[in-house]
Chains A and B, each alone.
Chain A
Amino acid sequence: MKSGSRLEKVLESGAFSVTAELGPPQNANVESVKKKAKHCIGNVEAANVTDNQTAIVRMSSIAAGVIALECGLEPVIQMVCRDRNRIAMQSDILGAAALGLKNLLCLSGDHQVFGNHPDAKGVYDIDSMQLIAMVKQMRDEKTFLCGDEIKECEPKFFIGAAANPFADPFEFRVMRLAKKIEAGADFIQTQCIFDIEKFEKWMKLVVAEGLHKKVYITAGLTPVRSERALKYMKNNVAGISVPDELIARMEKAKDKEEKMEEGIKICLETIEAVKNMEGVAGIHLMPIGWESVTPTILERAGLLPRPKV
């Protein structure tokens, strides 16, 4: 065991894993973290606690992660390269480990121009690849990035990374995954999948390279309640592929209720599709602003109860 986290144990056991997402509030309200955690407790292995996602200031991922942990929800702490240099990151990695956190997802981070402080100076001292390698170095070699020894209590994290099969250049995406594995990633969460065909094409290349045997690949899913959300992503979010057919399906649904049902159905179909693909070790649910749907989807997908490990 690298970290002993629940997520690691479930994936190691060979069971199909489920993770979800918990966005910390734009304030210091403990209750709102607890409220969001409720939808996840007992239903998922762990939940990603996002790090100022879309570059909007929120409660720190480590703080919110500790609150989640206290409620009985294992967090996956997200850490982005946008806001901290290598000194602050290593310091926070030690702090997170000291507070009992065991999963860390290493990301470049949404660029600051998208957030509520577009005038901020981006740090990007190291990139996500180097962050993965740094967390692994701290864990396995018991040294800091500079080479100094970590004399005791090295931080032991189950190291996560992101992969986007829908970004360009497509041919490079498998190579980039291989690099993340070489850097030290233990598990992967993909960008949200709407374009099953393209995802399958990518997975086949991943399997052909044997990469699925070196890392746990979990498929990212975002259930949506309206065609508006799909259109927004299609037109405004770089690196997301949304087939027109899905938009048409959502448009066809008449009212709010029907649209919600259609959104859930699309998500269930996607779960079914990825479950049957070789090399997919689990799913990562990202119901943006619709956290309450998590238990419904998992129940209907036959993914509850979660395995005991």
Chain B
Amino acid sequence: MIVADRKPLEEILESIKDFDKIVLMGCGGCVTICFSGGAKSVELLASQIKIARKKQGKEIEIIECTPERQCEFEYIDPCKEKFESVPVVLSIACGVGVQTMNERHPDTITIPGLNTKFMGYPVEHALWEERCAGCGNCLLEWTGGVCPIARCAKKLLNGPCGGSSDGKCEVDKEIDCVWQIIYDRLKKLNKLENLTAVRKPKDWRTSTSAGQRKVEFKEAML
């Protein structure tokens, strides 16, 4: 899932300071699950904004709305009447949702209320960790299903570096050394030979180095 985190309230207030009426739009997808952009978060943020604006003596009207997904036309279009007459939508969906809104409804400005962080999953209740960097050429087959591109601070393919200590990364003792995890996993699988060959440099074209990427599913095209 896509994991996002709410922007600081001050930054949000600054971005909507010129408006006295906004639509606050959440998303029923990933950000609902990571507690940052679902219907409950919409309700909470709306009250925080109203209280802050009341204190400033500049009251604001907020129309709340949370489509099932903000990243698909068929889910945002039915909300159109809510934001049609309003100049700005504050979106607490991921960056994809914000852009879907701007592209589909260009007469309304949609601004972000979240910082979109990564693809990951909850490793424990209310704690999400990054797992996939979307590099476009999955190598999990030989690493025992553990990704060094998403999880190594130096994106090493022949790790671990000399900064791996007691299972932790030199960058931050709160971060596990992913190469220690890979090593332990392959040892358990009796596949340490996967680490003996020198891995060649990665072709970053499948990642973000060669411009915007597209995925086509020809069979399903109309």
The answer on A and B forming one complex is yes
A contact set with B: CB distance below 8 Å: 81-82, 86, 108-109, 111, 113, 122, 124-130, 133-134, 145, 162-164, 167-169, 172, 175-176, 178-179, 182-183, 191, 238-239
Among A82, A129, A162, A238, contact of B198 (Cβ-Cβ < 8 Å): A129
In the complex, chain A residues whose CB is within 8 Å of the CB of B196: 175, 178-179
Choose one: B163, B166, B198; the contact of A183 (CB below 8 Å): B198
> Can you list, as one digit per residue, whether each of B159-175 has a CB less than 8 Å from chain A (1) or not (0)?
11111111111111000
Q: Mark B191-205, 1 if CB is under 8 A from A, else 0.
A: 010011011110010
**A125-B170 in contact (CB<8A):** no
What class of interface size applies to chain B in its complex with A? 20 to 34
In angstroms, how far is the closest chain B Cβ from the Cβ of A83?
A: 12
Question: Nearest residue in A to B177 (C-beta to C-beta)?
Answer: A168
Q: Would A81 and B154 count as touching, CB distance under 8 A?
A: yes
Which residues 175-222 of B have a CB within 8 angstroms of A? 177, 180, 183-184, 192, 195-196, 198-201, 204
Answer yes or no: B155 CB below 8 A from chain A CBs.
yes
Q: Nearest-CB distance from A168 to chain B (Å)? A: 5
Given A167-B160, A169-B164, A172-B183: A108 touches B198 (CB 8 Å cut-off): no
Q: Which residue of A has the minimal Cβ distance to B195? A: A175
Q: A169's closest neighbor in chain B, by CB?
A: B183
What are the residues of chain A within 8 A of B157 when measuring CB–CB? 127, 129-130
CA A144 to CA B201, docked complex, whole Å: 13
A sample of 13 cross-chain residue pairs with beta-carbon separation below 8 angstroms, ordered by A number, consists of A108-B161, A127-B156, A128-B158, A129-B157, A130-B157, A130-B201, A163-B162, A167-B161, A168-B166, A172-B183, A175-B196, A179-B158, A238-B169
Q: Please determine whether A191 and B198 come into contact, CB atoms closer than 8 angstroms.
A: no
- Contact residues in A for B200 (Cβ distance below 8 Å): 130
- Which residues of A have CB within 8 Å of B79? none
Known: A81-B154, A108-B156, A122-B154. A129 touches B164 (CB 8 A): no
In the assembly, what is the distance between CA of A172 and CA of B185, in Å?
Answer: 13
Spell out B's residues near A (CB within 8 Å). Answer: 153-172, 177, 180, 183-184, 192, 195-196, 198-201, 204
A239 vs B180: C-alpha distance in the bound complex, in angstroms?
13
| Cβ contacts under 8 Å, A172 to chain B | 160, 183, 195
Tell me which residues across on chain A come within 8 A of B162, comparing CB atoms: 108, 162-164, 167, 191, 239
Known contacts A113-B171, A130-B158; A239/B198 CB under 8 A: no
6 closest residue pairs by CB, A with B: A164-B162, A129-B158, A238-B170, A238-B165, A238-B163, A126-B201
Expressed in whole angstroms, the Cα–Cα distance for A172 and B200 within the complex equals 19
Tell me the bound Cα distance from A122 to B154 in angstroms. 8
Q: B183 and A129: CB pair below 8 A? A: no
Q: Which residues of B contact A108 (CB under 8 A)?
A: 154, 156, 161-162
How many whole Å from A44's CB to the nearest CB in chain B? 23
Is the beta-carbon distance between B153 and A167 smaller than 8 angstroms? no
- In the complex, the answer to whether B153 meets A122 with C-beta atoms within 8 Å is yes
Instruction: Give, as a whole number of angstroms, the nearest-CB distance from A107 to chain B.
Output: 9
A residues near B184, Cβ cutoff 8 Å:
169
Chain B residues closer than 8 Å to A176, beta-carbon distance: 158, 160
Taking CB atoms, residues of chain B closer than 8 Å to A124 are: 154-156
* B residues less than 8 Å from A128 (CB atoms): 158, 161
Residues of B within 8 A of A178 (CB): 196
> Which of A86, A125, A168, A183 has the most CB atoms of chain B within a 10 A radius of its CB?
A168
**Cα distance A172–B179 in the bound complex, in angstroms:** 10
Residue of A nearest to B192 (CB): A175
What separation, in Å, do the CA atoms of A182 and B199 have in the docked complex?
Answer: 11
Task: Choose among A113, A145, A163, A168 the residue that contacts B160 (Cβ–Cβ < 8 A).
Answer: A168
Give the complex CA separation of A179 and B204 in angstroms.
23
